[in-house]
Structure 1
Amino acid sequence: MFPDLKSSDIHPVLQMPFKVIETETEWISVSDGTRLAARVWRPEVDPAIKVPAVIEIIPYRRRDGTLPVDERIHPYWAGNGIAAIRVDLRGCGDSQGFLMDEYLAIEQNDAVDVIDWVSRQPWCNGNVGMTGLSWGGFASLQVAARNPAPLKAIIAVGATVDRYNDDIHYKNGCMLNENFGWGSSLTAFTTRPPDPEVVGKNWEEIWLQRLENLPFFAEKWIENQTYNDYWKHGSVKEEYQNIKVPVMIVGGLNDLYVNALPGLLENLSGACHAVCGPWAHNFPHLATPGPTYDYLADTLQWWQKWLGEPPVKEFGHKTQLVFLKESAAPTPNATNLPGFWIRQENWPPASCHSTALYLGDGTLSATSTTCTDFKIHSPVSTGALAGEWIPHCSGVEIAGDQRAIDAQSTCFDGAPLNEAFDILGRPALTISLSSSAPTGHLIARLCDVAPDGSSELVSIGVINLCHRNGNVSPAAMPINKVQKIEVPLDYTAHRFVPNHRLRVALSTAYWPLIWPAVDNPALSLSGGASVLTLPQKKMVESEKVLVDPPTAPPKPNMTENRASKSQRHVHRDLANGKTIVEIVDDLGEQIYDDHGLSTSATKSERYEIEDGDTLSAQAHISWNFKYQRGKWLAETKTETQMSCDQDNYFIAAKVSAFKGGKLIFEKSFDRKILRTP
């Protein structure tokens, strides 16, 4: 669920040019009078010297939740002459107000106000950057589209330009189970109390007001099942032209958020630098699997270039640093993967071109051919071993050997390669098929098959067949009539080594990563050529580069009372014909030595589905949080569940809060939401 900060081989930064001045809590008032809590790191310089500043605004609590990460980023920038300000989002941590949804206009307004406040500080040169991972990366792109005058550059890590198709909610019309899962987690996160040491004796009143106003976040996301104005808000693909500042976009090949890289490179008019490594959803220098690179030095150069006085004026230069991963044994626990780094100084790269491979009767070749009534129909439990959409580090969340999923899919294999075959970009599948039912899904996986038969996931694309003409107005599939379907796959950078095969694996289910459609149809490939278009790269030796290893300030002062651990099990209930996926994440117990707060958290998930019955799908998630300092003790428990029938989704949640072991608050949600195709 969260990064393992002990996994990377990081070189510690023990000395920096400037001493760092830290303000643990700085209150920033925004336009409506709400006060946001911030932590500030500044370089100690002569008062006559003005320095640039970088802000990060996220909901994950600066004094505990992200403290271990914050302290391995922000002090580095401050020690090198750039002030850093880490702000708790409205209604989170110690900030006032209420969090009512992701990326609301009021959140963007707050960010603009914070940027303005920072730019007017007597120590600031007026030039401000914005950054963050995930939520903070999304917010940086969204605020950049607002163009506040002091904002001069951003760095977005693990972010998206399309909240509907490339976030945790939907993917080409398929509802991801993370839509419910993240809604459950964000609800649980928002139950946590402010710190009495910061907000004072009225902490309980503030806490209870938050709980009274708490939404079940998944509710609105499930209500909006097509690409509409709700999702357009905050999707910067709708307003690329409004982003005028330089953008650095960072993604990982083992993360869901990779498609923003080509999206921004292709559509921004200003400067853009993209970095893509083999890691999961984390800041690169703290990430696994590696190899990683010196992210902090890279970002420091970025800030120094664009936030200096006067700022650099440069228009439209596009560059990217990419790790081209080579074929490897599909081992989720691997902390380093084979491959090499390349740097490209122009976009689009001249060394890439499209190569077409055609799907035959179980074959994949450059010879144009058609399938003769080839069938695709998978068990509804196909995908139980698929891992997670958003892994946070090496381990069970990363997709492993695909053989078990391939066995439940319809596969098309190429011949063994005589030489290396490189791809860099987004593959795409064009397929002609007919369906036995009006609703259904198609999942396309591009795999690298080794001589020993092991199958490594390279890229994936999915589509709700009712969204074959777009995500705005779904239409039922005509029964047994051939339709042309376009399936974009995710951005990737991969070298298939000699003697390996390319495989396209097609399935009609991917549980529990995708909530099933009403039907699990039998699909027939017929009526025309089906082709996989690959962004083949011609290797240019001069593009290969060596990168410096990651560095970071030392780990923060923390005591671990209980180590974190994760369990993941897949069960078959043979008596009842069920497949059950159970996940238990114990985030451990930590004491933050500098202020004495003790925190612990556990999460459990259970997903089940009955053979042959798409409507039997169920999901159950629970979260427990415990916060303690001396005699002060606050706890929350959040339980959520989701199920469906042919016409509706059913979601429920229960939130309980405890003070000193006694129940002081309870709230329940229970909703029926109409399904759309």
Structure 2
Amino acid sequence: MTRWIRLLLRSSIVLLAPILIGAGLVVPARAVPDGGDLAAAWLATYEAPPKYPSVYIDWDVPITMSDGTVLKANIYHPADANGPITEPTPTTVSITPYTKLMQMLLDSAVSIPVLYDAIGQLARMLDFSAVGLGGLTDMLKIVPGGAARMFAGVDRKLIQSGYTQIVVDARGTGFSQGSWTAFSPTEQHDGTEIVDWAARQPWSTGKIGMTGYSYTGISQLQTAQQQPSALRALFAVNAGNDLTQDFIATGGALGMPFLAGLLAVVNAAKFVPDMVAVLSGKFDWKWFQDRVSSPFSMLELFFGYILALNPDMMPQATKDVLTPSSTLRTAWAGGTDKIQAPTLMVGGWHDLFTYSQVRAFNNIPLPADQKKLIMADTYHFNGGSNFGAPGLPPRLDVLQRAWFDKWLKDIDNGIDTYDPYVVKQQGGDWIGLPQFPRPEAEYTRMYLSAAPSGNPFPVVHDGSLTPAVTEDRTRLTISPGILPICSRDGAIISGGAIAALDLCGRDSRVAEANALTFTSTPVAEPTTISGPIALRLNTVHDTSDGVWTATINDVAPDGQSTALSTGQLIASLRKIDDTASTRSPNGDYTDPYPELSLTNRQPTIPGQPTTLDIRLNAVEAILQPGHRLRVDVFASNFPRSLPPGLVLADSQLAPQHIQLDPDAPSFVNVPLTGRPGW
């Protein structure tokens, strides 16, 4: 009888726990983002004396693609006193446009005995927050967090534990033949052929992983989507998937600074010749011919976007960016719904690719033990900042070793039990979640009102956020400005460089002098925001186009305004693809997905209202008691983005208006848990 009573009680707890937790009456067991005892074991394994004493490198190994193009790879083997070992090992692949030469130099720096660890320890000790440079402190902490080995694509401790690592120059870059177009269908197919080639080599067990940061992380997801049979694991740091929506043309505006930097670096580096081949009389003349025939890859696309004042002036490459069905745009849209390789992704709430990181991860059709997402409060260039510190996730290099040991060597190390979502809650602590967004979050309208909120700092207009529609019939005007240079968006497009100044990365009050602000009353209890956010604006333009940017902010009692998430949209590219969008139960958008189609461009009619639905990236944040929610609205977003030349011509950078009208209200649709008391 006692046994049956116990079973009944256990069943009741299982059934009632979700209800009680949702009601706030039962606190679930606290997750351990730092991995606890398991992570301590992963670290001990990583730092243990190496199985093999050294690394042997095969330089510039040719890999011939099915179309005859020859790619070049450096292959790093575990070695003993007799040279590379003869025992086959699991193998990892990294495909880079930044050249394996550059990554070799970075690996050499990281591999200097004692020095790298000493720099890491020093970086953990440094703190410039007292002089307003907390962002610089965060940037320096990428060293102890393990990111340098991810940048290099080479981890000698991993190799010496019994792995082979391959770093390949992407087609048309480094010493590889061909013409480079970033993430083209051809480049994506190359990834599959490289994986298959690696699996066939005598030094490989046939179990292949892929690893890397940024571009090399993106190529992993694209390769895995094609399901090469030998691919068994991915470790992708700060990788995106829907590249047009992420940063190439977010909301229709070009991610100019970062894209310009990418094109400049790759186009310059691809002309560095293989001097060993030159001196040995084995120079690859096909490589030279390919460089001469395509000296400035993708620049036509870039300048066509900026300079064309009407569609007829646009080169085809630029039109392809604004044509959803084009081959290039389709390739950039990626997809993860066919991935079968266990995947660990690391991203950041302020990365270039934040938008697609969560979407891509959630679309991977794998159980929770085979996919993990870590989201930090970081930018593109400081991924993994301070990982390994108490309370934070393990270092990136430690996580990578544990992930590959599990899926490429079948070692039962418990990493499959790590929380499926480990996130830094903005305004709070690191937490583990079984789902993201939180299923208990309820979408709530907060309406834009002209009534002042009492914001004492200079803004274009101080308005309020209210839980009910007000009777305002007011027109608020906003003009383009340059202060968003010092903002969260400025920090995002610079990869985090501008965030070195806390004045720009952690406080929006400088940028808000160019903004319309709408602020709620203080929350009475801790209030969580979990998921994507949508802003509906009832706008009026004086011209046939306009540019809109919005942020959602956490406002502290002392007035500091911290942007949690951002979004932007060009008015004429406002048409929403409902098949790719999501809505809350009442029909409001939660994640409106703009088509960004030149063919379906809809110029605004001067003087007439135009409804815009602007997506803000998904976020996990908590408003502490006394804090307030704020929406900032801008009429420009330089340098985060630059509208196409035709939009600049049509908009004339004229003032823009929000028409507050109870019959056509403007509101933010935000996913909340808790009792804010609004």
TM-score of the superposed pair, with normalisation by structure 1:
0.68
Q: Is the 8 A contact 1:22 1:39 kept in 2?
A: no
Provide the C-alpha distance between the structure 2 equivalents of 1:275 and 1:121, rounded to a whole number of angstroms: 33
Provide the C-alpha distance between the structure 2 equivalents of 1:440 and 1:145, rounded to a whole number of angstroms: 37
* 1:81 aligned partner: 162
Q: CA RMSD in A?
A: 3.5
Provide the C-alpha distance between the structure 2 equivalents of 1:456 and 1:299, rounded to a whole number of angstroms: 32
1:297-308 matched pairs, under 5 angstroms: 297-308=398-409
* 1:352 aligned partner: 441
Partner letter of residue 508 of structure 2? Answer: Q
Provide the C-alpha distance between the structure 2 equivalents of 1:21 and 1:289, rounded to a whole number of angstroms: 26
Query: Which residue of 489, 508, 531 corresponds with 2:616?
Result: 489
1:186-265 matched pairs, under 5 angstroms: 186=265, 188-197=267-276, 200=279, 201=281, 206=287, 210-221=291-302, 222=305, 223-224=318-319, 225-228=321-324, 229-237=326-334, 239-265=335-361
Higher strand fraction: Structure 1 or Structure 2? 1
1:89-488 matched pairs, under 5 angstroms: 89-93=170-174, 95-167=175-247, 169-178=248-257, 181-182=260-261, 184-186=263-265, 188-197=267-276, 200=279, 201=281, 206=287, 210-221=291-302, 222=305, 223-224=318-319, 225-228=321-324, 229-237=326-334, 239-271=335-367, 272-282=371-381, 284-285=383-384, 293-308=394-409, 319-326=420-427, 339-346=428-435, 349-361=438-450, 362-369=463-470, 371-386=472-487, 387-393=490-496, 396=499, 399-400=504-505, 401-469=507-575, 470-472=595-597, 473-488=600-615
Partner letter of residue 217 of structure 2? Answer: G
* 1:30 aligned partner: 64
Q: Is the 8 A contact 2:525 2:674 kept in 1?
A: no
Provide the C-alpha distance between the structure 2 equivalents of 1:285 and 1:459, rounded to a whole number of angstroms: 19
User: In the superposition, relative to structure 1, how do residues 486 and 270 fare at CA in structure 2: closer, same or farther (>3 Å)?
Assistant: same
Q: Is the 8 A contact 1:20 1:41 kept in 2?
A: no
Provide the C-alpha distance between the structure 2 equivalents of 1:128 and 1:27, rounded to a whole number of angstroms: 18
Q: Deviations over 1:618-662 (max 9, x none)?
A: xxxxxxxxxxxxxxxxxxxxxxxxxxxxxxxxxxxxxxxxxxxxx
User: In the superposition, relative to structure 1, how do residues 212 and 47 fare at CA in structure 2: closer, same or farther (>3 Å)?
Assistant: closer
Q: Secondary structure at the match of 1:92?
A: coil
Partner letter of residue 367 of structure 1? Answer: A
Provide the C-alpha distance between the structure 2 equivalents of 1:283 and 1:512, rounded to a whole number of angstroms: 20
* 1:522 aligned partner: 656
Question: How far off is 1:496 after superposition?
Answer: 2.6
Provide the C-alpha distance between the structure 2 equivalents of 1:529 and 1:38, rounded to a whole number of angstroms: 58
Provide the C-alpha distance between the structure 2 equivalents of 1:412 and 1:420, rounded to a whole number of angstroms: 20
Partner letter of residue 145 of structure 1? Answer: Q
Provide the C-alpha distance between the structure 2 equivalents of 1:394 and 1:171, rounded to a whole number of angstroms: 20
Question: How far off is 1:97 after superposition?
Answer: 1.0
* 2:668 aligned partner: 532
Asked whether 1:56 is paired with 2:91, we answer no
User: In the superposition, relative to structure 1, how do residues 157 and 163 fare at CA in structure 2: closer, same or farther (>3 Å)?
Assistant: same
Provide the C-alpha distance between the structure 1 equivalents of 2:234 and 2:387, rounded to a whole number of angstroms: 24
Q: Secondary structure at the match of 1:137?
A: helix
Q: Is the 8 A contact 1:284 1:293 kept in 2?
A: no
Provide the C-alpha distance between the structure 2 equivalents of 1:351 and 1:299, rounded to a whole number of angstroms: 32
Provide the C-alpha distance between the structure 2 equivalents of 1:536 and 1:170, rounded to a whole number of angstroms: 29
User: In the superposition, relative to structure 1, how do residues 79 and 341 fare at CA in structure 2: closer, same or farther (>3 Å)?
Assistant: farther
User: In the superposition, relative to structure 1, how do residues 404 and 371 fare at CA in structure 2: closer, same or farther (>3 Å)?
Assistant: farther
Q: Is the 8 A contact 1:451 1:499 kept in 2?
A: yes
* 1:16 aligned partner: 50
Provide the C-alpha distance between the structure 2 equivalents of 1:108 and 1:242, rounded to a whole number of angstroms: 14
* 1:561 aligned partner: none
Provide the C-alpha distance between the structure 1 equivalents of 2:550 and 2:496, rounded to a whole number of angstroms: 24
User: In the superposition, relative to structure 1, how do residues 377 and 347 fare at CA in structure 2: closer, same or farther (>3 Å)?
Assistant: closer
Q: Secondary structure at the match of 2:638?
A: coil
Provide the C-alpha distance between the structure 2 equivalents of 1:278 and 1:318, rounded to a whole number of angstroms: 18
Partner letter of residue 199 of structure 2? Answer: S
TM-score of the superposed pair, with normalisation by structure 2:
0.68
Provide the C-alpha distance between the structure 2 equivalents of 1:243 and 1:235, rounded to a whole number of angstroms: 16
Q: Deviations over 1:141-180 (max 9, x none)?
A: 111121111112222222222121113x211112332376
Provide the C-alpha distance between the structure 1 equivalents of 2:105 and 2:261, rounded to a whole number of angstroms: 21
Asked whether 1:512 is paired with 2:546, we answer no
Question: How far off is 1:458 after superposition?
Answer: 1.4
Q: Deviations over 1:299-358 (max 9, x none)?
A: 22222232236999x99x9921111132xxxxxxxxxxxx42111234553343323322
* 2:135 aligned partner: none
Q: Which moves more between the two structures, 520-529 or 479-488?
A: 520-529
Q: Is the 8 A contact 2:169 2:176 kept in 1?
A: no
Q: Which moves more between the two structures, 343-352 or 433-442?
A: 343-352
Higher helix fraction: Structure 1 or Structure 2? 2
Q: Deviations over 1:199-232 (max 9, x none)?
A: 5456596557524521242322432351431443
Partner letter of residue 478 of structure 1? Answer: I
User: In the superposition, relative to structure 1, how do residues 48 and 212 fare at CA in structure 2: closer, same or farther (>3 Å)?
Assistant: closer
Partner letter of residue 30 of structure 1? Answer: T
Q: Is the 8 A contact 2:57 2:74 kept in 1?
A: yes
Q: Is the 8 A contact 1:370 1:530 kept in 2?
A: no
Question: How far off is 1:250 after superposition?
Answer: 1.6
Q: Is the 8 A contact 1:289 1:394 kept in 2?
A: no
User: Any gaps of 5 or more consecutive residues in structure 2?
Assistant: 1-42, 107-147, 306-317, 451-462, 576-594
Provide the C-alpha distance between the structure 1 equivalents of 2:86 and 2:272, rounded to a whole number of angstroms: 40
